[in-house]
Structure 1
Amino acid sequence: MTLFPAEQITDRPDHKRYFIEKLGLSERLMERCLGEALSAGGDYADLYFESVTSTSLGIDESLVKTASQGISVGCGIRVVSGERTGFAFTDDLSSERLLRAARTAALIASGPAKERVSGFSHVDTPSLYPVAGVGSDAEIAAKLALIQRADKAARDFDPRIVQVRAGINDELRRILVAASDGTYASDTQPLARLNVFVIAKDSQSTARGTSGGGGRVTLDFFEGHKSPEHFAREAARTAILQLGAVEAPAGEMEVVLGPGWPGVLLHEAVGHGLEADFNRKKTSAFAGLIGQQVASSKVTVVDNGTIANRRGSLNVDDEGTPTRETVLIENGILKGFLSDKLNARLMGGASTGSGRRESYHHIPMPRMTNTYMLNGDDMPEDIIKSVKRGLYAVNFGGGQVDITNGKFVFSASEAYLIEDGRVTRPVKGATLIGNGPEALKYVSMVGNDLALDEGIGTCGKAGQSVPVGVGMPTIKLDRMTVGGTGQ
């Protein structure tokens, strides 16, 4: 049984050669591991090899407080039999330990084999992000200089800034996926993020501000418009703004969401409910609603893993499937879900390239990449003018959502009153309370100013965290409950 025909593996991209040449793996060993993985029966097996080099630096009060570098190498082996999954991982890539992990996964998922291995088919890897010169190869001094610039810019913004923390994290992740369905794919994935946190204080109150950004980029990204100074000034501006803010009003009112990061509400309140595993198990509020109206006709939502350099983008997902743009809701009609291989097979569909995992320690599951609402036809200024009395939420902090019923609570970190069609006073303590599917039905205006977030999103699900992107244009919701203590 040959999984990897010689004529197809002789033209390997560089990132495949890394695993073959640098880590001492061989195609023959991969064949043996997949054979062992299916030795007790099963429908499918895959090997997920991963190598990650990472760096993290942080300063607090202008002093270096944290500095670390790490290397992680290992392999996760999965066997699927029906709905049952066997999984084992090892950080020792010797043939003995890999074969032992394969046998362990096989025993956990043992069952009658339903199909034979179909052979190997190379997956062409797109090129959505740079590889040469990424952060893990850059000088520590250059990274330290970036966050020192952020520290200085935040302090220079206003004398009321009394504390500044800044940090930068970057990694280079190499993956190789070999599977019994013939998949043989690899990728080299850079990721970098710069963060700034500040505290502002006056005689009356204390306020906090945060900002940051990045993506699948080199450190050169932070020398352009998205400089350390840009993020530092944003964090400081937000904190100073809160010092003069009034308490947010409470009650049901019109709400306008600004472009960009407010798309996190869409991600949490709607996106998770559109992942295939929740719908297959019928635990999502959207289960069984394909083809039905679930939002205003003005709402179209997509998940797109193919946007160059974005934090949530991937050339291939963690099952070796190329990512793509998936329409989830079109003109208010539910069109589909985000699937990995397992849930696609069990639901009679195809993978959308949404199988993601935090590391080789974890099994893949359906996850979002970059999720956002498409542009509408309204001018943002007309949306504001249409509101007699309401809330304009520009930025969000934390939030919670229950995917079984879609109920959510989000705190606004930057928000303003809208009075007689004008943005007036900044408010603090505002929370948005609602139901995701219901809230989208009250979208009456959608702006033409779609923006994606700065590149800060991390999504948690079932104990796993992965980088994601969110976005939306300015939108108006005719009804939403706002929590606050003001009048």
Structure 2
Amino acid sequence: MTGTAFRPFEDNLDKEATLAALRRAVAGAHDGELFLERARSESLVLDDGRVRTASYDAAEGFGLRAVRGEAVGYAHASDISEAALARAVDTARLAVGDGGGVMAPSPQPTNTRLYSDDDPIAGAAFPVKIETLREIDAFARALDPRVVQVTAVIAASCQEIEILRADGTHLRDVRPMCRVNVSVIVEEDGRREQGTAGGGGRVGLDGLIAPEGWQGKAREALRIALVNLRAEPAPAGVMDVVLGPGWPGILLHEAIGHGLEGDFNRKGASAFAGLMGQRIAAPGVTVLDDGTIPDRRGSITIDDEGTPSRRNVLIEDGILVGYMQDRQNARLMGVEPTGNGRRQSHAHVPMPRMTNTYMLGGDTAPGDIVADLKDGIYAVGFGGGQVDITNGKFVFSCTEAYRVKNGVVGAPVKGATLIGDGATALQKIRAVGDDPALDPGIGNCGKAGQWVPVGVGQPTMMIGGLTVGGSGS
């Protein structure tokens, strides 16, 4: 790895003394571990020709967890020292009490590597990054005279983790992340519209800041802005909707994915609780969560409990066959953990979270799906959305959508929102395209105040009878 490696047991802690403290913390517990982390991140933003932000953050610390049944004792500190660890032991033990639990088996180590362990922040000198931002700005403005503002972002981070368990199991992972975003505002006849494009993943920075890495993003941002410039008010009503491939999978992630996380189902809070083995989606619908795709934004070699990531089938040909599990909820539900125990940082407890969640392709040509749309919306891009896990109800705003009548794609529409619920939407999928795609690497997922990077994806598909909110008629 470029730079100084994270070495908590060489630089801060005596490993044997640390192991003894950990064993005191989890004595009588069902599970627990010491999670050590060092994270660094850099973000550079050029806005309207000026460097608006140039930030660098670094943090390190540990989290000590002891689990007994449903109770969790957790203590964390930004000071990796034996004194801080000793104080944390007493707090973690509060969840254990005088219990005599049997510790769950440790995760098995893996030699799999899904991404490089090089620090992407060191992948280019600071002046090179600033010059690249200026080149993006000049390039985007030269594409079209209607461009009046450009915002360009280069971001990189590196998270190094170590996990120690009471039986001596010691696991490590180094997680790089990079992203480039371009946002363009165009103006014509007094009307202004915006388009944004970006992407990245667990890759080095060199490929993203090369011209071939960002010029396509600038062109795509401009294309979306110009589409919105001629957009008409969106219609309102119940109608069929065709979703494009790739990033529209964010609707799948929010409306369905969260409802298939183990904790919500164990507690009976999900719309899909108690439906294992039953049909919850139309035939031909297969949904996976896969953390093993190399270099993807949502991929993890091991999760934040040390379990190797997996390719988990959640829905197979419309039948619910699996949930995403961390160790605690898997144990309480009598199943195996699936490598989905994730946490934002050492200051947070792990919980079941998605990695890369996507739908497999079908056998219908995308053009045929659109041609079968008699009166509805073709939604290609999505912005923000929200979902109620208990009933699966969702609301999503479209950033790029078109009116379709009798199979002909017409004018773009502005202000369209899609309203429905995940359980019903799954059953109303009428066609699945043969063009599965993943998003470009821009997703983040929030849950219980924690944010983690994720990936989404799907093929083109038609959903019947969604409510479309808009301002037109």
Greater alpha carbon shift after TM alignment, 157-166 vs 412-421: 157-166
Aligned to 1:159: 145
AA in 2 matched with 1:59: L
* 2:463 equivalent to 1:471: no
5 Å-filtered alignment, 1:62-73, equals 62-73=49-60
5 Å-filtered alignment, 1:152-231, equals 152-180=138-166, 183-222=169-208, 227-231=213-217
- The 1:205–1:121 alpha-carbon spacing in structure 2 relative to 1, beyond 3 Å, is closer
C-alpha distance in structure 2 between counterparts of 1:207 and 1:17, whole Å: 45
Aligned to 1:5: none
Aligned to 1:6: none
* 2:389 equivalent to 1:398: no
Aligned to 2:259: 273
AA in 2 matched with 1:272: H
Aligned to 2:97: 110
Shift of 1:285: 0.3
**Contact 1:295-1:333 at 8 Å conserved across structures:** yes
* 2:71 equivalent to 1:84: yes
Aligned to 1:51: 38
AA in 1 matched with 2:19: E
* 2:37 equivalent to 1:27: no
Aligned to 1:287: 273
Shift of 1:108: 4.3
What is the TM-score of this pair, normalised by structure 2? Answer: 0.96
- The 1:447–1:24 alpha-carbon spacing in structure 2 relative to 1, beyond 3 Å, is same
- The 1:249–1:132 alpha-carbon spacing in structure 2 relative to 1, beyond 3 Å, is same
Shift of 1:25: 2.9
Q: Which string of whole-angstrom CA distances, capped at 9 and with x for unpartnered residues, describes residues 25-74 of structure 1? A: 332133122123125x4222210000112211111111111111122110
C-alpha distance in structure 1 between counterparts of 2:44 and 2:146, whole Å: 25
- The 1:374–1:430 alpha-carbon spacing in structure 2 relative to 1, beyond 3 Å, is same
**Contact 1:15-1:187 at 8 Å conserved across structures:** no
Structure 1: runs of 5+ lacking an equivalent? 1-12
Task: Determine what percentage of the aligned residue pairs are the same residue.
Answer: 49
**Contact 2:239-2:467 at 8 Å conserved across structures:** yes
**Contact 1:122-1:185 at 8 Å conserved across structures:** no
5 Å-filtered alignment, 1:420-459, equals 420-459=406-445
C-alpha distance in structure 2 between counterparts of 1:252 and 1:121, whole Å: 48
Q: Which string of whole-angstrom CA distances, capped at 9 and with x for unpartnered residues, describes residues 136-158 of structure 1? A: 45311222233223222222222
**Contact 1:153-1:233 at 8 Å conserved across structures:** no
Aligned to 1:37: 25
Deviating above 6 A after TM superposition, structure 1's stretches of 4 or more consecutive aligned residues are 13-17
AA in 2 matched with 1:93: I
**Contact 1:122-1:184 at 8 Å conserved across structures:** no
Aligned to 1:260: 246
**Contact 1:90-1:97 at 8 Å conserved across structures:** yes
Of 283, 304, 310, 2:290 maps to 304
Greater alpha carbon shift after TM alignment, 18-27 vs 304-313: 18-27
Q: Which string of whole-angstrom CA distances, capped at 9 and with x for unpartnered residues, describes residues 376-435 of structure 1? A: 000011111111221100000011110100000100000011122121211111110101
Shift of 1:121: 7.5
Aligned to 1:486: 472
C-alpha distance in structure 1 between counterparts of 2:361 and 2:425, whole Å: 18
C-alpha distance in structure 2 between counterparts of 1:183 and 1:334, whole Å: 34
5 Å-filtered alignment, 1:232-271, equals 232-271=218-257
- The 1:14–1:139 alpha-carbon spacing in structure 2 relative to 1, beyond 3 Å, is closer
**Contact 1:150-1:231 at 8 Å conserved across structures:** no
AA in 2 matched with 1:173: Q
Greater alpha carbon shift after TM alignment, 50-59 vs 370-379: 50-59
**Contact 1:445-1:476 at 8 Å conserved across structures:** yes
AA in 2 matched with 1:57: L
Aligned to 1:460: 446
AA in 2 matched with 1:367: R
Over the residues paired in the alignment, what is the CA RMSD in angstroms?
A: 2.1
- The 1:446–1:117 alpha-carbon spacing in structure 2 relative to 1, beyond 3 Å, is closer
C-alpha distance in structure 2 between counterparts of 1:137 and 1:32, whole Å: 39
Greater alpha carbon shift after TM alignment, 422-431 vs 303-312: 422-431
**Contact 2:180-2:214 at 8 Å conserved across structures:** yes
Question: Match of 1:98, SS?
Answer: helix
* 2:319 equivalent to 1:343: no
**Contact 2:108-2:307 at 8 Å conserved across structures:** no
Aligned to 1:4: none
**Contact 1:47-1:78 at 8 Å conserved across structures:** yes
**Contact 1:164-1:197 at 8 Å conserved across structures:** yes
**Contact 2:26-2:67 at 8 Å conserved across structures:** no
**Contact 2:29-2:103 at 8 Å conserved across structures:** no
Aligned to 1:97: 84
